[in-house]
Amino acid sequence: MSITETSPAIEAEQTPLIIGHWINGASVVPANGRTTPVYNPATGAVRAEVALADETDIAAAIASAGAGFEVWSRYSIAKRQAVLFAFRELLNARKGELAELITAEHGKVLSDAMGEILRGQEVVELATGFPHLVKGAFSENASTGIDVYSLKQPLGVVGIISPFNFPAMVPMWFFPIAIAAGNAVVLKPSEKDPSAALWMARLWQEAGLPDGVFTVLQGDKLAVDGLLESPVVQSISFVGSTPIAQYIYETASKHGKRVQALGGAKNHMLVLPDADLNLAADMAINAGYGAAGERCMAISVVLAVEPVADELIAKVAERIGTLRIGNGSSTPEPDMGPLITDVHRSKVSEYVDIAEADGATVIVDGRGFSVEGAEDGFFFGPTLLDNVPTTSRAYTEEIFGPVLSVVRVQSYDEGLDLINSGQFGNGTAIFTNDGGAARRFQNEVQVGMIGINVPIPVPVAYHSFGGWKKSLFGDAKAYGVHGFDFFTREKAITSRWLDPAAHGGINLGFPQND
């Protein structure tokens, strides 16, 4: 099966720059000399070096955020809302700049980078309406002459640790709500694509956010542990692999922090015999190979209820042959770009080796794929596997690449049991024209986000994002009402203003309502 290639418009790589932190409203390049390369995945060339924080940088970032919080938390709701609206307008006007930056460092095609920004912007727009969501409640005369009311107040300094696959959207799942609620944010982006975070920091400054309220701390595990262990940082929001999510949750909880840690996934798509197979094939392509499969909501397993597997596989394979792979900045734009690093490409290739050794049939093989003129790019072709054993690591573990596995099942119940027996519970989908089957599925499947004839069921911003089982550690999902609850804490106040003409006298009994 041939795959159409697109030649990249390779730009001359300049001498690598040092990408620093954003502390107290300014870019800071530390003197410690610790850096790691940032690649252009489409060319394989180093485009910059990113600074890696040491203890001094970590302390400076957290201190700056603490000072920013003292200023920002005293802003009125009206003033905070004005800054959020200004950020929203600036982001909307200049989102093309951010999309180009994401494509250059992550490798996803420009339209996909733009889609990421627009989904993140939904949360910004939700946050602009925050006054309604941070209101307290009031009960007048709860007892004679006594009023009881509640206040929602910010936590303080909050930490966000974001992954490489969505350098703009995932931080925007958290920081608009955190900032709207009056907190100060320290964002630790992935060292693989760190520039989007700095771009957004400058945009916040232009929008009028006080210095220190949005801080960017570049780094590796040292920076992560610094946030987890700091007594100043009150909460941690994380998206990444399950082992790291579990580490984040356990470590931050041990240090008394609130935690929302979103982990990995192995998302299944159950295709019933009555489904529209053309729709199912299109959606399997979109959800399996978009962003080169580097999505936590990617469909990686198609559960085909017999007798539809052969026909569905043929349709998917045919569509793979039309995909154009290349530099995401090319004109015309390709359908899929490279993987993030050469190391990750090797890991994805190893999973295909494992599946094949375990007895799977390789229908379309993306191993060894390259793009003419960009042979050093980190490209991996879309791969389609059939009859993948459910005991294989290629089935049980998250591959995070453009590999779509087909598992043949004999019934709805068998497919449901496979989904529910997995360690992950992030997202799933069912394709069917039977409303009763769909309704049964949404009630019986043990997964946090469900699509019905929709392959990537990422909720809109006014709902909340998060899975079950080993896909989420902590009680709070991302954004939506969960987000505002997570980034605020409540005070309950019982108040009595005495009538100067009356006094209740001394009573040592337990307070009660007469």
Q: In whole angstroms, what is the distance from residue 365 CA to residue 233 CA? A: 46
Angle, CA 85 vertex, CA 84 and CA 91 arms, to 5°: 90
Q: What is the DSSP code string of 316-372?
A: HHHHHTT-EES-TT-SS--SB---S-HHHHHHHHHHHHHHHHTT-EEEE--TT---T
Q: In whole angstroms, what is the distance from residue 465 CA to residue 123 CA? A: 11
**φ/ψ bin of 387: left (φ > 0), alpha (ψ from -120 to 50), beta (otherwise):** left
Q: Which of 161, 262, 296, 364 is catalytic?
A: 296
Residue 215: Cβ within 10 Å count: 29
**C-alpha of 15 from chain center:** 31
* 96 in active site: no
Q: What is the largest CA-CA distance in the chain?
A: 92
Q: In whole angstroms, what is the distance from residue 56 CA to residue 60 CA? A: 6
Q: Which two tokens stand for residue 212?
A: 């220190």
8 Å CB contact between 465 and 478: yes
Q: How deeply is 332 buried, as exposed, middle or buried, from its count of CB atoms within 10 A (0-12, 13-18, 19+)? A: exposed
User: How does 481-506 read in b/e, with b if 16+ C-beta sit within 10 Å?
Assistant: ebbbbbbbbeeeeeeeeeeeeeeeee
**H helix or E strand, kind and range, residue 438:** helix 435-444
8 Å CB contact between 52 and 83: no
8 Å CB contact between 487 and 152: no
The β-bridge relationship of strands 26-28 and 21-23 is antiparallel
3-state helix, strand, coil in the chain (%, to 5): 40, 25, 40
Q: In whole angstroms, what is the distance from residue 440 CA to residue 447 CA? A: 13
- 3-class state of residue 511 by DSSP: coil
Residues forming the active site: 296
